[in-house]
Amino acid sequence: MPADPIIDTYSRRAHDYAGADNQASCWGLATRELWARLGPRPRDRTIADIGSGDGAALREMLGRAAPQTRLIGVEPAAGLRSIAAERTRDLSAVEIVDGRFEALPLPAASVDYLYSLMAFHWVTDPAAGAAEIGRVLSPDGHADLFFIGRFSGREFIKATTPVFLRRFGPARVFAAAGLRRQLTREEAAAVFTAAMPDRRVTVSEWYDTRYDTVDGHMAWWVRIEGQMLAAGGEDRADAEAEIRSAIGGLATPAGVPYTLHLLHVRVEAENGTS
């Protein structure tokens, strides 16, 4: 697969991602709250987590899955794969493999339940990713994907875009924004329905405003890493200071707000047995 700057960033910053600060940030909490919405069935024997990160959700799912269930974490960032492998070393039911939405390393019709948390917005080709999900799901298989939609983080975009534009110019700012494939609810519905015409696809959306400190928000640095990739040394430190100050300007008594636009794609077998 071609090099992907986002995956490289996740790999390089894997220890920050899996670390306590990031997991305690509003982003980490918002992600973990989604665990309650995952719904493996007792008859699901093969469960796959795509973009499984440090493997935290896989460990949680193991506790909920029926005995003899196999859990497969598919993760493209080598740094996160090795943390996940280390953290699941004693769990023989869990396997961590290299792969991404666009090319899942799983046989056709082999997965009973596929889920993914906060990863599909990084797919480089949403149609190819959705087609791969349709390919690997068993005829009776089902899926839940939660990811960021087009209208996430409007407050931050408004506050930081002038800084990015002044420092890096429009071409780089738009190229960086293009690294994340943020879909509207309607676009997500169209992509998944086209890829899986023989299954029932429903897409819901909601908004969730989170408050955190500037440091807490900056801990999930990968969100703006794209814009910063080409900035080095002093330039980068200056830009970061300006961004911190722009974000700090949004502070309310509850903290600095960031409104997530979340999409949930639910896939079921057409006959409704799932």
Residues engaged in binding ligand SAM (CB under 6 A):
6-7, 10, 31, 50-53, 56-57, 75-77, 80, 100-102, 117-119, 122-123
Contacts of 100 (CB under 8 A, 6+ apart): 1, 4, 7, 50, 51, 74, 76, 123
Give the single-character DSSP code of 52. -
Considering only CA atoms, which of 66, 27, 23, 71 is closest in space to residue 47?
71
The minimum distance between CB 90 and ligand SAM, in angstroms, equals: 20
Say which residues have a Cβ less than 8 Å from residue 171's Cβ, sequence separation at least 6: none
Strand order in the sheet with 137-148: 94-97, 70-74, 46-50, 111-117, 137-148, 256-269, 199-212
When the beta carbons of 118 and 189 are compared against ligand SAM, the nearer one is: 118
Q: In whole angstroms, how close is the CB of 174 to ligand SAM at the nearest point?
A: 20
| Number of residue whose CB is nearest ligand SAM | 53
**In whole angstroms, how close is the CB of 270 to ligand SAM at the nearest point?**
26
User: Which residue's CB is nearer to ligand SAM, number 101 or number 168?
Assistant: 101
User: For residue 156, which phi and psi values (nearest 5 degrees)?
Assistant: -70, -40
> Closest separation between CB of residue 259 and ligand SAM, Å?
17
Q: Which is nearer to ligand SAM, 76 or 226 (CB)?
A: 76
CB-CB contact of 120 with 129 (8 Å): yes
Q: Minimal distance in Å, beta carbon 75 to ligand SAM?
A: 6
CB 260 to ligand SAM: min, Å: 12
35 vs 151 by CB, closer to ligand SAM = 35
For residue 252, the 8-state DSSP code is B
Work out how close the CB of 102 gets to ligand SAM at its nearest, in angstroms, rounded to a whole number: 6
Nearer to ligand SAM, 117 or 163 (CB): 117
Distance of CA 83 to the CA centre of its chain: 17
- Cβ proximity to ligand SAM: between 80 and 176 the closer is 80
- The nearer residue to ligand SAM, 134 or 167, going by C-beta atoms, is 134
Dihedral angle of Cα 211, 160, 16, 53, to the nearest 10 degrees: 80
**DSSP state, residue 188:** H
